Amino acid sequence: MKVAYFVHDLSDAAVAKRVWMLQQAGAEVRLAGFRRTAEPPASVAGIAPVDLGRTRDARLISRAGSVLGALARSPALGRFLAGAEVVLARNLEVYVVAGFARALHAPRARLAYECLDVHRLMLGRGLAGRALRGLESGLMDRSGALIVSSPAFLSAYFEPFQHLSQRAGLTALVVENKTFPDTAPARAAGSPAGPPWRIGWFGMIRCRRSLDFLCDLARRRPDLVQVEIRGRPSYTEFDDFDRQTAAAPGVSFGGPYRPEELPGLYGALHFNWSVDYFQDEGNSRWLLPNRLYEGGRFGVPPIARTDSETGHWLMAQGLGAVFDRPEVGLEAFLDALTPEAYAALRAGHLAAPQGLFVMGPEDCERLLAAIGGPDAAGGRRLAPPASTLIRA
């Protein structure tokens, strides 16, 4: 199965994960996309990508211009799409490019849409929101598959806004943001099981309310909490992220990280901050973030909200520390937490099935079958993950 994959950010680590999943299921993958970095990556999961140009986070007008530029260059994508049986697009901005290029160069290819975020503009009742949803709907009419990372995207957005159940020719599949399988065992927590409790906030950092709360708590209660922040901040969402983190005692920011650093990073934590108020009436409530699976794979209990899909997921599994209002209940919870109670909380995570957090062969094959049709999978098989994956 030949898959032409269009992405919104070639430097996004999740893109490499998706390419790898398709390859493990037996697909031949080609990659084209925009980037947020100054220079395009030379290789993504062993593939030399086609660079569609640079875009910038949160600059929708600039990104729209990049999309138009890519559309203008679409005749040059003929070679990229030659022989493609599936055209897969990650997020709406490249869905437009992929749909147009497919119509020109590979009209018999099956079009598939991978939606990992629903931007707040998509929920608006005004002209912009209706126009964007209309554009998305028209592309979905021409598509055979929809891939999302959380079931709440289907129930809260695609059903009420795009009438998903009425689209008989569209296969919808939830592919959670599970981690790569790895033979390296998870490391036990390196910090003593007692205060100060070390809370990690890793990944895409874009929630101002979370940052304000964690900085304030660490400043007021250095005896109780230390906060470690790692990843890529969305600087447009903060007044001065670097100044705020540097000025807060007990808070440290270590910048981006590589996947091979995860055992050591999570091994030094007691808790995994999995609260997000960034787009509180939509995306933030619906998503299941990468950090949920990364932390779970290393046995670090998450902190989450009850009124979010992350909280629902954790409560269904009997895992984590879930609060109606973390900014109200967390301090008292940590004050009362004993080493014995924490050990029991962590033991629950270490005993959880590894398949909750780590992708296996069936995840890869279900993905390829959804985007390519029921006969698409069946190539190479991924070796089953080792049983030590989430055990210290």
Q: What is the pLDDT along the chain (392 residues), one digit of tens a residue?
A: 999 999 988 888 889 889 999 999 999 999 998 887 778 888 888 889 888 877 765 555 455 556 666 665 667 788 899 999 999 999 888 898 899 889 989 999 999 999 988 888 888 889 988 999 999 999 999 999 999 999 999 999 999 999 999 998 899 999 999 988 874 555 545 556 789 999 999 998 999 999 999 999 999 999 999 999 999 898 889 999 999 999 999 999 999 888 888 888 998 999 999 999 987 777 889 999 999 999 998 899 999 999 999 999 999 999 999 999 999 999 999 999 999 999 999 999 889 998 999 999 999 999 999 999 765 544 443 333 332 222 11
Nearest to 320 by CA among 281, 357, 370, 368: 357
Architecture of the domain whose range is 2-176+360-372:
3-Layer(aba) Sandwich (3.40)
pLDDT given at position 66 = 62
Q: pTM score, two decimals?
A: 0.86
Amino acid letter for position 342: Y
The pairing of strands 50-54 and 225-233 is: unpaired
pLDDT confidence of residue 391: 19
CATH number of 197-350: 3.40.50.2000
Q: Are 354 and 317 in contact (CB under 8 A)?
A: no
Which tokens is 58 given?
């949160």
Q: Give burial (CB, 10 Å; 0-12/13-18/19+) of 147.
A: buried
Question: What is the rounded distance in angstroms from the CA atom of residue 351 to the CA atom of residue 319?
Answer: 10
- For residue 22, the one-letter residue type is L
Question: Which residues does residue 303 pair with via DSSP β-bridges, in sequence order?
Answer: 273, 321
Shared fold status for 2-176+360-372 and 197-350? yes
Phi-psi region of 82 (alpha: psi -120 to 50; beta: other; left: phi over 0): beta
pLDDT at position 380, please? 41
Where in the chain are the domains? 2-176+360-372, 197-350
CA angle centred on 185, ends 183 and 191, rounded to 5°: 155
